[in-house]
Amino acid sequence: MTDSLTCFKAYDIRGRLGIDLDEGIARRIGRAFAETLGARRVVLGRDIRASSGQLAAAVAEGLVAAGAEVLDLGLSGTEEMYFATGHLGADGGICVTASHNPMDYNGMKMVQAGAAPLDPATTMPALRRLAETQGFAPARTGGRITDASATRAAYVARVLSFVDTAALRPLHILVNCGNGAAGPTFDAIATALAAKGAPLRFTRMHHDHDGSFPNGIPNPLLPENQPATAAATIAAGADMAVAFDGDFDRCFFFDHEGRFVPGEYVVGLLAEVFLAKEPGAAIVHDPRVILATQATVARAGGRALMARTGHAFLKQALRDSGAVYGGEMSAHHYFRDFYACDSGMIPWLLVAELMGRSGKPLADLLADRRAAFPSSGEINFRVPDVRAAIARIEAAYASRAETRDDTDGLSLDFGTWRLNLRASNTEPLLRLNVESRARPDLVEQAVADITALIA
């Protein structure tokens, strides 16, 4: 029997419940995962969505049928699955999560031994073929489920190893967990910080995990979701705010005035922290918005390396180069000493440390960067033909560019300003980013002109 499983994407599993993904499909994916990777021990976590418990149980059944031991984390973040896979020496890991997708979706994020991403060119297609054909080997004995929730203590210790708690100064931080999976893990980190005497005070918002998401799907990157956190930050008189997405592998910042901090400036801040600790280190960044990051890395004496957008590419670049840190403007931040994986908990601790060391509020740390390198933010277009739209922009602009880069989409630098135009890896969208060297007027004009051409 062969049927097409539409929930398979380039890097992970994602689909509509009852249409693209159900418990039967989840069971097949679990079994195919164990057989394709030859996995004998697999970490399994899940987010708070109403369907995640049943889907995770089905994945576990498939893994057990293949003779694997399931190291069950229970409710956890994707990064806890990454950490546990490496820390426990498992052969792979799966987190059942739809992160920031709509209510009627769910999915899975998966890694192999060492928390390395599955190869999108070989392993993912092989896994998909086996799940579709169901040409499984005979069921094996010896599979079982083991409670691995106690691994959180080691995870918390690793997260705290990134920050010098002695450098922290009194800060009041508003934390918005979005009713997602972050709450219990954040509380464990906050308890460990208090035990170390860290002078941080927290105001919790939308903290209790609730799979019905009473305050909306937690995706702080969406402009319409930002005012609630901004207003709460001002009302609480907090020094900064941190908001998490559903599986908390991304965190987003607001300064004390409630202003949202675009992701590219956070990459620069974190690069600065790591280069102070490890002079001359390599820093990886994505190609969409690069000027602020490259200027920061150059000023701090580091090496800036560019990699294609997407976690599989960033993680591989970190592993290949030995870079200490990598960041994407979409708020994915990767750390060499966290199995080259992304974390949403490590970044806010490092920003708090930077604020403590500098004695400056977050707004002041960002002011010069915002002024020196204004950017448009990512603008998405739904177009009937993505390639044709890119070709129109190329025809109009490429001949005037000082430099061109095709690492990921079309990047053109005109000296005073720069654009990146690329097809989304995960959605049928065309994504535009424009940035400039201290010329916000050029950003505004370029966005208007390019938008007209795309339309």
Distance in angstroms (rounded) separating the CA atoms of residues 6 and 23: 15
* Type of residue found at 244: F
- Active-site residue among 99, 343, 375, 411? 99
Please write down the HEC assignment for all residues of 133-162: HCCCCCCCCCCEEEECHHHHHHHHHHHHCC
Residue 99 among the catalytic residues: yes
Describe the strand order of the beta sheet including 69-75 as a list of residue ranges. 13-16, 105-112, 92-96, 41-46, 69-75, 144-147
| Composition of the chain by helix, strand, coil, percent to 5 | 40, 20, 35
Describe the strand order of the beta sheet including 171-176 as a list of residue ranges. 200-205, 171-176, 240-244, 251-255
| Token representation of residue 384 | 């009937």
> Three-class SS of residue 15?
strand
Task: Name residue, tokens 């489920």.
Answer: 145
- Residue 2 CB coordination number (10 Å): 9
For residue 165, the Cα-to-chain-centroid distance in whole angstroms is 25
Q: Which residues are catalytic?
A: 99
